[in-house]
Chains A and B, each alone.
Chain A
């Protein structure tokens, strides 16, 4: 009797492909969000697999804060070109220029929260009704409670207390005009699964994930990259260190940490012994309040 059992990575991939196909089959106008981070790179990879040999049957959207790592922007363009994908950019700068959102001020100003408005505007403008994202349940406790297919009302809002039960592999994607669904195909993956999969599938990632020399300064226990978007506060001092990033977001809220890991093998080893979650280690945006993520999500954040 042959062994009809999949490895955990194959089983997770099969589930994700099923979700992507189901969500696309039941929507009119899907789009995939792509930040250039490892999770969105994996979702994009899985989506390409789901429709092969056809091209990805929907565009890729980047919500651009204007405060990006140059390496990530270059990676974004390369990644989308390699699959023959179509890129849509929702620009925070544009929203600021048009007066639709107001730039935060002060040394801790970040454009992270400002992403929600241009995202919802773009969803509205392009009439997207299925929006794929790379959120995982293990990364943050508000995300731990979110559905794989998560309903958004006509204001883009999430109502955590009124979610549709999700059973078996049957997803309810029903929605009306103006409402949309956020789909999270890698909900059940952990950070370790992502790295193992990236290694197995040889998925390219931005170079900032790997150890490199960088000018940084310490703030709130994190090492922030020196950039035109961050103003030093008294006492903060820029020094050059060997660092890498564990998550990749806006430069103003993503912290690095000291690491010598230059290869996927070394990163996997590092993740295996790490005693701090990736968001705890590197995201200033989740530290503001215990329910910071939930509050942003209710407003329509990803």
Chain B
């Protein structure tokens, strides 16, 4: 069985990110002849002396004209064991918005450092965002080992340096690989030049990371998306509640509670087009039939009676601001979309703005502008059912929508109920 794994990678051409991705794609045969020829021709036309793989996905006219990646570029590759979705973003601070977006769904973050330069401000920033967005695995690739004479001492120095920094972050699974993306050492094949490294090459690591427990399998959470009523003769009284499992393992016969009504009932059946199943877990899309005829609608949350999410109108969250045209300020009102529920919300207080390079807090900040991140206290017009983001990325996240422009202007990660 081949599993789906989502990778977020970020960085600039200088640290060899494009070379690494190019190797992963090329060696797993995901770059095609006509694409390669087009990219080679475009690179030559621009006068670059290397094949710029960004041109593969930087398809927008403005991107090619300015030679920049505006956006998250999604690339796809696979091995017999896994199918990968790679969200590739530029690494500069003005692309924080894109990095946050790319990391939001990732199982693993791939971060590169140049062995000559070691851990830089950019490395720390990327690692912090990885931790903030709750990416469960981080692989730090120490690249350009060929330029430091394949030195084990240099590698260990960088590993130690990074470990001491990462201790301040919330990173569960941290791996290191010394590589040379250019020469292919430890990318797909083990390096002949670094016999002292006993670990595996990058691709093997990506294939073997244990992603099975990345989802929360403990707290049952089922945000109701859609009520299915067939109006067909053979399904006269059929009524089921469709949604994606956002946490826990749901089994037929389980006692469940529906919020906000608080009614309890049992799971009478878990239906799919392919037939009923005995249990459902994230990220399955299923329909639940309930044992009692109770009122349930979109936006409701199904959970276990003794394991409920927090139910509140007052929320504390880290918010990443994404609007080019407006700033977040205390007193402003927005719409927020949280699971399948949309509510209006008022910013009660911007508690601090975080300097994402130094992690220092500016408590005097009056606003959050594009690419800034801060801690915000907000109050919603109707209660939402949430968990802390670090416990559940589905029920702990929300997006902020500007009602005047309908634009998505922010992304929130809930830290808890506000006092």
Contact = CB atoms under 8 A, between A and B. Distances in A.
Nearest to A175: B406
A8 B4 contact: yes
Among A8, A13, A192, residue most surrounded by chain B Cβ atoms (within 10 Å)? A8
A25 B274 CA distance: 22
B60 A170 contact: no
A151 B408 CA distance: 11
Interface residues on A, range: 35 or more
A244 B242 CA distance: 39
B191 interface: no
A22 B394 CA distance: 15
A218 interface: no
B401 A174 contact: yes
Contacts of B234: 53
A11 B337 contact: no
B109 to A, nearest CB: 15
B298 interface: yes
Interface range for B:
35 or more
B62 A160 contact: yes
Nearest to A7: B1
B61 A21 contact: no
B327 to A, nearest CB: 16
Contacts, number: 193
A50 interface: yes
B108 interface: no
Nearest to B249: A4
Contact of B3 (A7, A13, A143, A160): A7
Contact of B58 (A15, A54, A141, A168): A141
B364 interface: no
Contacts of B397: 167-168, 170
Interface in B367-417: 393-394, 397-399, 401, 403, 406-408, 411
A215 interface: no
A169 B215 CA distance: 14
Interface in B105-154: 105
A57 to B, nearest CB: 9
A50 B273 CA distance: 8
A176 B406 contact: yes
A12 interface: yes
A280 B285 contact: no
Contacts of B212: 3-5
Contacts of B298: 25
A102 interface: no
A142 B393 contact: no
Contacts of B226: 21, 24-25, 51
Nearest to A22: B225
Nearest to A136: B76
B100 A55 contact: no
A11 B273 contact: no
B57 A48 contact: no
B352 interface: no
Nearest to B71: A145
Contacts of B42: 290
Interface string A129-160: 00000000110111111000001000000001
B407 A17 contact: no
A174 B408 CA distance: 9
A134 to B, nearest CB: 16
Contact of A53 (B33, B98, B211, B235): B235
Interface in B49-87: 56-64, 70-71, 73-74, 76, 78, 82-83, 85
24 contacts: A3-B212, A4-B282, A8-B83, A10-B284, A25-B225, A49-B273, A51-B228, A52-B271, A53-B232, A141-B57, A145-B73, A164-B407, A165-B98, A165-B322, A167-B101, A167-B104, A168-B393, A172-B408, A176-B406, A274-B32, A275-B33, A277-B34, A280-B34, A294-B61
Given A18-B285, A164-B407, 9 more contacts: A3-B212, A4-B281, A4-B282, A6-B3, A11-B4, A13-B285, A21-B285, A52-B228, A187-B74
Interface of A: 3-8, 10-15, 17-18, 21-22, 24-25, 48-55, 137-138, 140-145, 151, 160-161, 163-170, 172, 174-176, 187-188, 190, 192-193, 274-277, 280-281, 290-291, 293-295
Interface of B: 1-4, 32-35, 38, 42, 56-64, 70-71, 73-74, 76, 78, 82-83, 85, 97-98, 100-101, 104-105, 211-212, 215, 217, 225-226, 228-232, 234-235, 238, 242-244, 249, 271-274, 281-285, 298, 322, 335, 337-338, 340, 393-394, 397-399, 401, 403, 406-408, 411
